[in-house]
Amino acid sequence: MNLIDLYVYEVTRLLPLKIRDDIALELHSSIQDMLSEDSTEEEIKKQLSKLGDPAKLAHNYTGRPKFLIGPAYYGHYLSILKLSLMMTLTVVLVTQIIFSLTSFSGGINPVSLLLQTSFNVVGQSFVVGAQLFFWVTIVFAFIEKSAGIRDHSSQPGSGSRWSPDDLKDVYSLPNKKRITKSKIIGKLIWTAVLAGLYFNASHLIAVFERNGAGGFESTIPIFNEDVLLSFWPLIILLIATEVALAIYKWVIGHWTRHLASINLIRNGMFIASFGVIVSRPALFNPAFISYMQDQLGQSSIELLNVLHWLVLSSILTAILYGMIDSYAGIKKAQLNVIRLFTA
Amino acid sequence: MSEIFASLATELRRGTLTLAVLSQLEIPRYGYSLVQRLEKSGISIDQSTLYPLLRRLEKQKLVTSSWDTSESRPRKYYVLSSYGKQVSAQLKAEWQKTSLELQKLLEGDRGNESY
């Protein structure tokens, strides 16, 4: 392969397949046009350096933006990132402290316990922070790539022309239709708390017993840890969906039909996942069941019946909640802005 | 200082390149012949900008292209489409209007200084 072939290859390998051959042919003939019939290697090098960095040339051909998140969403991106980082770090801190308090028994040196706790907090914060950074960035890059959220909102970068009349829409937006930041923050905190509970379930959702040192100790986890944690990919997916939805709400700022349908899908996902996890027969820790038998003096069949009823009613509650939430979203999306403004 | 000037000058020239290229495509031309023509009239254009620009114009349906394989090496020729001719004429008028206005503005400036 000579220099020209190599150069053309370097450019075209960065291009989409569809246009690759055509550009290769054209570039080849253009380069040869620049040169005389019997060019020395020196001359070829000189001409190629005129064309410049192959990567840059390829970029000029594709014309794709060089940024992941453009100026229109960067502000939103930073605030969401800061906010969610702060929240999850708080949850990590709180769960770790509870964790330490409940595993505190007289034998351990308080200093080493403190060290252990701070070590855990730093480690978990790092893992959770990296996950969060990754997901939030992915979601925003996706929003950016899909050329912004096309909506008739007056958000910058939404593509539609802004006119002062849009201000009227903002003003006339009924309060019910608006999504306040505090609501979004509330939902995110709730998500973070649930996630914290899930991943530390064996220590936080358990039977607590008073120990010798005057503290409480979690002795018997209520759930079977292996079964519960086997659902982690599903849970991560749910958390990612929740964060993505929060970002979407944050950016558009009010209920739309589109948002209402996404909300409906998300509620469906939540109910389905909840149902699948809760209805697993081995979900409860056998040790917990026998402990309860001892405490209540009931037979295991009676106890299992009670648990079944609990599971069933929790699923029904989840379905009811999901239906109410979805319905509220649709209701809010359908509130007619213009009519309320003129009325 | 000179760096700022260079970047501002590039910015100033960038918008005119499209017009310069469109104006030369009344008859079919291939990439390198266009470079030479523009250079002869004093307009220097990076080849790494020009070739992608031609493709972009084609995508925007302002020019059409065809391969000529009759000569020793195949060449891709570009020529204005009828839509391209319209747009080119509009751009030309716009440029003449703008340069006239700017000239007035700049000369008026000089008049003030000598005042």
- Residue A216 at interface with chain B, using a CB cutoff of 8 Å: no
pLDDT tens digits, one per residue of A172-210: 666 777 788 888 888 888 888 888 888 888 777 877 776
The answer to whether residues A102 and A217 touch, using CB atoms and an 8 Å cutoff, is yes
CB contact under 8 A, A25 and B30: no
d(CA A181, CA A167): 19
Residues A157 and A262 in one domain: yes
Give the domain extent around A13: 3-62
- Residue A51 at interface with chain B, using a CB cutoff of 8 Å: yes
Residue B10 domain-assigned (yes or no): no
From the candidates A8, A26, A35, A57, which should be mutated to test the interface with B, based on the most B CB atoms within 10 A?
A: A26
Residues of B in contact with A56 (CB under 8 A): 48
pLDDT tens digits, one per residue of A280-322: 878 888 888 888 888 777 777 888 888 888 889 999 999 999 9
- Residue A156 at interface with chain B, using a CB cutoff of 8 Å: no
**ipTM of the predicted structure?**
0.80
pLDDT tens digits, one per residue of B32-68: 899 989 989 888 888 888 999 999 999 999 999 999 8
Q: At which of A14, A43, A62 does a domain end?
A: A62
Give the minimum alpha-carbon distance from A60 to chain B in angstroms, rounded to a whole number.
6
How many structural domains are present in chain A? 2
DSSP structure class, residue B78: E
CB contact under 8 A, A25 and B49: no
pLDDT tens digits, one per residue of A114-149: 888 888 888 888 888 888 888 888 888 887 777 544
How many structural domains are present in chain B? 1
pLDDT tens digits, one per residue of B74-95: 899 999 999 999 999 999 999 9
Q: At which of A18, A34, A62 does a domain end?
A: A62
d(CA A251, CA A54): 37
Q: At which of A62, A89, A105 does a domain end?
A: A62
- Residue B55 at interface with chain A, using a CB cutoff of 8 Å: yes
pLDDT computed for residue A158 by the predictor: 44
pLDDT tens digits, one per residue of A56-111: 888 888 876 667 888 878 888 888 888 888 877 887 887 777 777 766 655 667 78
pLDDT at position A156 over 60 = no
d(CA A333, CA A261): 10
Report residue A284: phi and psi, to 5°: -85, 145
pLDDT tens digits, one per residue of A107-120: 667 787 788 888 88
Give the minimum alpha-carbon distance from A4 to chain B in angstroms, rounded to a whole number.
15
**CATH number for the domain harbouring residue B67:** 1.10.10.10
